[in-house]
Amino acid sequence: MHTKPIPMSSSARGGSIVIRKMGRGATWCMLTFYALLTLYPLIWLFVSAFKDNQDFFSRPFGLPSSWHFDNFSRAWKVAGMDIALLNSAIVTSVSLVLTVLIGSLAAFILSRFHFRLKGAVMGLFLIGMLIPVHSTLVPLFIMMKEMSLLDTYAALVLPYIAFELPIAIFIISAYMTTFPKELEEAATIDGAGYWSIFCRIMLPLSMPAISTVAVLGFLRFWNDFAFPLVLINKPSLKTLPLSLSIFADGYGTDYSLTLAALTISVIPTIIIYLIFQEQIMKGMLAGSVKG
């Protein structure tokens, strides 16, 4: 509890309180300014997405002189955002479901069973967090080519799961170790096998940890650029970040189209962020501290 030695200090330092209040006010102003500065690039993106090219050049800071909603319909069709969105949704959801299932099954075994190689297996998964993703691009490209998996959804889904497994196992098994031992004992007495313990007890009870893993995985898969860059070439299979990347070389192109396309790709992540803010913050912390 905070017990304050009030009387002496407040009367003796009346002047310094005024200064401190002014200081606090200044801090607030600077903080708000800083937050606006961080948000500005995004606000600028959303506002500019409604401008026509002329407006974009002449008044980069102003509001649009007329709001062009057609930018979005053009981006949807012309820039192929519809296909890219669909591809991203398929790749992300398949990877997510498999990561969660395979990861929590492994986490269940690593946290609730005792066997000889347990420490070694756990260590093996932890080492994986130290391997820089980009250093595997070349060999993965060659492997996928020899397995004839280039230009398929599997080329993305398989490495996504593999790279997300260590953090998934780490987060979920840390959560599962906190359950009391009697949980399985009671279920075993009732005649439940391991599989039904896993499906009926462990999975539902671990939902908080699983949802953290799922949210982190969503952001990682949805935003990933390096793997599709190397493993996907076919326009009909391009994910959102890969389709957007073509705008990077295009000096002197259709800016309003580009910004509308960017906005379309950002909206799902922003929505997820607004809903799962706390989980994302804590999960990313856990993820980065371990990695």
| Residue list 168-187, contact with other proteins (CB under 8 A) | 169
Stretch that binds other proteins, among 30-38, 64-72, 76-84, 175-183 (CB under 8 A): 30-38
Q: Report the residue from 85, 94, 102, 126 that binds other proteins according to the rule CB under 8 A.
A: 102
Mapping DSSP onto H, E and C, the string for 102-150 reads HHHHHHHHHHHCCCCCHHHHHHHHHHHCCCCHHHHHHHHHHHHHHCCCC
Binder among 21, 34, 54, 275 for other proteins (CB under 8 A) = 34
Piece of the chain touching other proteins by CB under 8 A; list 70-78, 177-185, 205-213, 218-226 = 218-226
User: Is 153 in contact with 90 (CB distance < 8 Å)?
Assistant: yes
* C-beta closer to other proteins: residue 90 or 284: 284
Query: Given its phi and psi angles, is residue 148 left (phi above 0), alpha (psi -120 to 50 degrees) or beta?
Result: left
Residue 281 vs residues 109, 164, 168, 273, 277: alpha-carbon distances, Å? 27, 17, 16, 9, 6
CB 257 within 8 A of CB 70: no
| Residue closer to other proteins, measured from CB, 91 or 165 | 165
**Which x/- pattern over 62-101 shows residues binding other proteins (rule: CB under 8 A)?**
----------------------------------------
Binding of other proteins at residue 138 (CB under 8 A)? yes
Q: Give dist(CA 203, CA 18) in Å, integer.
A: 56
Binding mask 236-255 for other proteins (x = CB under 8 A): ----xxx-xx-xx------x
Nearest-approach distance from CB 101 to other proteins, in angstroms: 9
Closer residue to other proteins (CB): 34 or 69: 34
> How many chain residues are in contact with other proteins, going by CB under 8 A?
91
Shortest reach from residue 80's CB to other proteins, in Å = 15
User: What is the CA 4 to chain-centroid distance, rounded?
Assistant: 43
Q: Is 129 exposed, middle or buried (0-12, 13-18, 19+ CB in 10 A)?
A: middle
Residue with Cβ nearer other proteins (78 or 131): 131
Under the binding rule (CB under 8 A), the answer on residue 33 touching other proteins is: no
The number of helices, as runs of H, and strands, as runs of E, in the chain is 15, 0
Site for other proteins in 139-168 (CB under 8 A): 139-143, 158-159, 161-163, 165-166
Q: At what angle do helices 207-223 and 153-176 cross, to 10 degrees?
A: 150
